[in-house]
Structure 1
Amino acid sequence: MALISTLLMGVGISAIGCSSTENASPDRLDRVLGNFTGITLSDFEEGVVKDGVVSSAEYEEAYNLWKTCVEDNDVGVVVERDDFGLLVPTTSIPKERPEQEALDVSAECGEGTFDVVRNLYEDQVLNPDSRDWNEGVVECLIDHDLVDPDYTVEKFLTEELPASAQTEAGTACMSNPFGVTPAS
């Protein structure tokens, strides 16, 4: 079977052990939903985001809705949890099917179920102060001397990442720019 890592979020902020209810912020909802231009929230998503906070139970429910849809379309799912307790699903399909099919099924199933909820929940966990994610990435890259001090968010969003930032440290800046550590 071909394994395909499923990134359901463009930002990649791709925690059950963390309490997210104290991280309510109307700015967070607006900021994260800004990554989903042109979509209409499903009734499920509307219910989840109405209080501006995604609970761990809502996060799990959204994942299970996505997983059921994916599996109903003959795509297998394996899930692991990262150090923060965040779900990291991987999809798989038989070798005779194109890998793109699993990605397409995953994307279609994520609409209205897991995508928005996942992004909000992961932002709560990895961005407790509800800062601009891209600004955080750029600050982290600069702080780790991976880019020049004059590097900007605009450059980050429009240009190829410099080779100096295409390292393990650069990846860490993009996945956890605010240096949040897992709860013990």
Structure 2
Amino acid sequence: MVVTRPAVRTLVAAAVISIAVGVAGCAAAVAPANTAYAADFEDARVRATSQFEHDVLADGKITRAEYEEAMQRFVACANDNAVDVSLIEQAGYFVYSVTAASSDSDAVMAACQVGNNQFIEPLFVDQLMNPDKKDIDEVIAHCFVAMKVVPPPFSKADLQRLFRSAGIVTYAVTGSSAAPLDATGVEVDEAAKAILDSPDASNCQANPSYDLLVSGDGG
């Protein structure tokens, strides 16, 4: 099975959560230090339990090499405990392919995250996807335009309409609550579905800042 970490999004489409699309040249991706994530780094430094984590988090940024090392440490731990974990590249970050030899794989993976990728992984991926902590739906909409998936102008509301037209139930998240934007009873627009199924649209959904990754502005 493929396990993805929770996406940093206020718009979630169930059909695209586990998209696995490789990105050429993403080894240079860096989650740069910036004020938007300063509090997150400080919290992670306080909660970190290993010297490795403290060393990575000390300068307020996470390089691709540091992220990969954290992930490899996690994988090695899981594999040593009879859980076969492989990393799959997805739009600049990793998702997991997991084959468990026992029913306690979730517990093993949770334990192996501690001291390794517990804080480094989410911080790297969150910054990669949304470096300025903007409204994530607007970031996705911008990516759709930048990657020429749709012509401008194209807004957050247009994005939500596109998902509903494709028959996908999405969620508008406000604070801690999530209200479903119900697509029940909506006739599926095959043209809308084709747009969302296109490679660049899939990449923008997997990584809302995919356009920055492609252009080289993402680190």
Q: Normalising by structure 1, what TM-score?
A: 0.68
The alpha carbon displacement at 1:181 in A equals: 5.0
Partner in structure 2 of residue 10 of structure 1: 6
Which amino acid in structure 2 is aligned with residue 46 of structure 1? H
The alpha carbon displacement at 1:125 in A equals: 2.1
Q: 1:116 to 1:143 in 2, by over 3 A?
A: farther
The alpha carbon displacement at 1:126 in A equals: 1.8
Partner in structure 2 of residue 176 of structure 1: 207
Structure 1 Cα separation of the partners of residues 3 and 211 of structure 2: 23
Structure 1 Cα separation of the partners of residues 39 and 183 of structure 2: 33
The alpha carbon displacement at 1:44 in A equals: 1.7
Structure 2 alignment gaps of length 5 or more? 10-16, 18-24, 142-155, 165-170, 185-192
Partner in structure 1 of residue 174 of structure 2: 154
- Cα deviation per residue 1:101-157 (whole Å; 9 max; x = unaligned)? 2122112211221131111211232223x214xx32377553413489xx96426x4
In the alignment, is the contact (CA less than 8 A) between 2:91 and 2:203 conserved in 1? no
Structure 2 Cα separation of the partners of residues 40 and 109 of structure 1: 16
Structure 1 alignment gaps of length 5 or more? none
Structure 1 Cα separation of the partners of residues 57 and 129 of structure 2: 18
**In the alignment, is residue 40 of structure 1 matched against residue 44 of structure 2?**
no
The alpha carbon displacement at 1:80 in A equals: 1.4
After superposition, the CA RMSD in angstroms is: 3.7
Which amino acid in structure 1 is aligned with residue 99 of structure 2? S
Instruction: Give the number of the structure with larger relative contact order, counting CA–CA contacts within 8 Å between residues 6 or more apart.
Output: 1
Partner in structure 2 of residue 103 of structure 1: 106
In the alignment, is the contact (CA less than 8 A) between 1:6 and 1:91 conserved in 2? yes
Q: 1:102 to 1:160 in 2, by over 3 A?
A: farther
Partner in structure 2 of residue 61 of structure 1: 69
In the alignment, is the contact (CA less than 8 A) between 1:137 and 1:173 conserved in 2? no
Instruction: Give the number of equivalent residue pairs.
Output: 164
Q: 1:87 to 1:65 in 2, by over 3 A?
A: same
Which amino acid in structure 1 is aligned with residue 37 of structure 2? R
Q: Indicate the SS of the match to 1:80.
A: strand
Larger radius of gyration: 2
Structure 2 Cα separation of the partners of residues 158 and 121 of structure 1: 25
**In the alignment, is residue 164 of structure 1 matched against residue 183 of structure 2?**
yes
Q: Indicate the SS of the match to 2:211.
A: coil
**In the alignment, is residue 114 of structure 1 matched against residue 129 of structure 2?**
no
Q: 1:153 to 1:123 in 2, by over 3 A?
A: same
Which amino acid in structure 1 is aligned with residue 180 of structure 2? L
In the alignment, is the contact (CA less than 8 A) between 2:91 and 2:210 conserved in 1? no
Q: Normalising by structure 2, what TM-score?
A: 0.58
Q: 1:179 to 1:83 in 2, by over 3 A?
A: closer
**Residue 88 (structure 2) aligned to one of 69, 80, 84:** 80
Structure 1 Cα separation of the partners of residues 36 and 100 of structure 2: 39
